[in-house]
Amino acid sequence: MFLQIIKMKKITKAIHTPFQRRDVYDALQMPVYNCLAFEFDNASIMADAFCGRIDAPDYSRVLNPTVTHLEDIVRNITRAKEVSAFTSGMAAISAMLFSVAAAGKNIITSRHMFGNTFLLISNTLKRFGVEARFIDLADSEAVRRSIDNNTCCVFLESVTNPQTEVIDIREISKIAKEKDIPVIADTTMIPFTEFDGESIGLDFQVVSSTKYISGGATSLGGLIIDYGHYPELSRLIKKDAVFNLGGYMTPQVAYMQTLGMETLAVRYERQAASALEVAKVLETIPDVKRVYYPGLESHPDHEIFTDIYGDKGSAMIVMELENEEKCLKFINSLKMIHRATNLFDNRSLAIHPASTIFGPLTPQQREEMDIKPNVIRLSIGLEDVDDIIVDLKQAIASANE
């Protein structure tokens, strides 16, 4: 059974990954094991399960068959050694960073990243004595210079949200490998069905499965995808972070996200195709000052992007209007596209990041993170692309009246 699954294509694995045990009723979909505790035949099996000598669920804070099935699907697709599922992207990222870091250690990273990850590293971890070294990760010499004996990891986001910067992970990985430093990437922006994380040099991926995987904004979730290059870290994630920090995914969410996985490739293909079409139209509108979409040739990192992630450029588009006032008028003029955060919902969404997600930061922090006041972030949904374009055009026109 397992050999067979290794040979299948990713989209097939998403649908046909076998359960670890045959279901007593032969259910086709993994049922929701909405229970807290599991019984054992005898004391010795019970001891084996609790001491980790066998993989059997005992308590749903740390192991649950419905969650295990989702982890197995992701493991099959990515060919990772271990996958751990969490209650949110932030729970996965914090479990990852609390596993790799310690007081006195430093993290090499960039200011181009998701707002809460930035705050986790620059505020929360700082309180525990972890130093953040924010550098320009596109500058490989800067990466080399910043690493010292206390560096615990290089952490980056690819593609960055919302700057759409694409770092060449292969370059970073070469430098980090020379020094035996793990490379961890938040790859939420591009589904792992589209590239091979290990072959581009990643040791770990963290993913907010809330986004593409949840199946149209059904639920919050997060994943750590671990290629097994650092066994002590793998143990800390599975046996320390999951047990002691909490934050393991719930079975209801795992069920919804398993369904999401089954349609992920199809949704992504369509959303990315629509996004490319929308991005091309936006480029022709004079009131749109600039369009950032990695699938467009005009994007500064287009070549690195297509080399690593292929020709589907994700469903996030960032555009610059003349100024903040026009951005807010644009948001207020939308008729179909929703004024909401989140990415990769089935519905198209629009947000003005500077006044919302990054609103609580200081203007100086926003500037350092390249969060411009005249930028709109769009997430392109599954609607007919013509309807999306009509709404965008009329809202841009209204903003300029």
Q: How far apart are CA 197 and CA 52, in angstroms?
A: 28
* x/- map, 265-284, ligand PLP, by CB under 6 A: --------------------
DSSP 7: H
Cα Rg, the chain, nearest whole Å: 22
> Minimum distance from CB of 86 to ligand PLP (Å)?
9
The residues, ordered by sequence, that sit 6+ positions from 95 with a Cβ below 8 Å of its Cβ are 84, 86, 224, 237, 241, 242, 245, 247
Using CB under 6 A, pick the residue from 88, 110, 234, 348 that binds ligand PLP. 88
CA quadruple 237, 240, 246, 249: dihedral, nearest 10: 30
Q: How far apart are CA 257 and CA 252, in angstroms?
A: 9
Q: Which is nearer to ligand PLP, 88 or 258 (CB)?
A: 88
Question: Interaction with ligand PLP in 299-358: which residues (CB under 6 A)?
Answer: 343
DSSP 354: G
Binding to ligand PLP by residue 254, rule CB under 6 A? no
Binding to ligand PLP by residue 167, rule CB under 6 A? no
Name beta bridge partners: 207.
223
Residue 286: CB atoms within 10 Å: 7
Which secondary structure element, helix H or strand E, spans residue 119, and what is its range?
helix 115-119
**Binding residues for ligand PLP, total number by CB under 6 A:** 15
Binding to ligand PLP by residue 222, rule CB under 6 A? yes
> Minimum distance from CB of 211 to ligand PLP (Å)?
6
Q: Which is nearer to ligand PLP, 13 or 117 (CB)?
A: 117
Binding to ligand PLP by residue 109, rule CB under 6 A? no
Binding to ligand PLP by residue 90, rule CB under 6 A? yes
Binding to ligand PLP by residue 190, rule CB under 6 A? no
Residue carrying structure tokens 């589209």: 194
Binding to ligand PLP by residue 193, rule CB under 6 A? no
Using CB under 6 A, pick the residue from 99, 110, 161, 218 that binds ligand PLP. 161
> Minimum distance from CB of 379 to ligand PLP (Å)?
10
Using CB under 6 A, pick the residue from 80, 220, 233, 261 that binds ligand PLP. 220
DSSP 373: T
Name the residue number minimizing CB distance to ligand PLP. 89
Binding to ligand PLP by residue 114, rule CB under 6 A? yes
Q: Which is nearer to ligand PLP, 168 or 391 (CB)?
A: 168
| Residue 219 near residue 256, CB atoms below 8 Å | yes
| Residue 346 near residue 380, CB atoms below 8 Å | no
Binding to ligand PLP by residue 118, rule CB under 6 A? no
The residues, ordered by sequence, that sit 6+ positions from 76 with a Cβ below 8 Å of its Cβ are 5, 6, 13, 17
Q: Which is nearer to ligand PLP, 154 or 399 (CB)?
A: 154
Q: Which is nearer to ligand PLP, 57 or 115 (CB)?
A: 115
Q: Which is nearer to ligand PLP, 220 or 318 (CB)?
A: 220
Binding to ligand PLP by residue 260, rule CB under 6 A? no
Binding to ligand PLP by residue 188, rule CB under 6 A? yes
Q: Which is nearer to ligand PLP, 49 or 190 (CB)?
A: 190
> Minimum distance from CB of 82 to ligand PLP (Å)?
20
- Residues 9-22, buried b or exposed e (16+ Cβ, 10 A)? ebbebbeebeeeee
| 190-193: Cβ within 8 A, 24+ apart | 190/158, 190/159, 190/309, 190/314, 191/264, 191/265, 191/268, 192/74, 192/77, 192/78, 192/225, 193/10, 193/11, 193/14, 193/77, 193/264, 193/265, 193/268
**Interface contacts to ligand PLP, rule CB under 6 A:** 88-90, 114, 117, 157, 161, 186, 188, 208, 210-211, 220, 222, 343
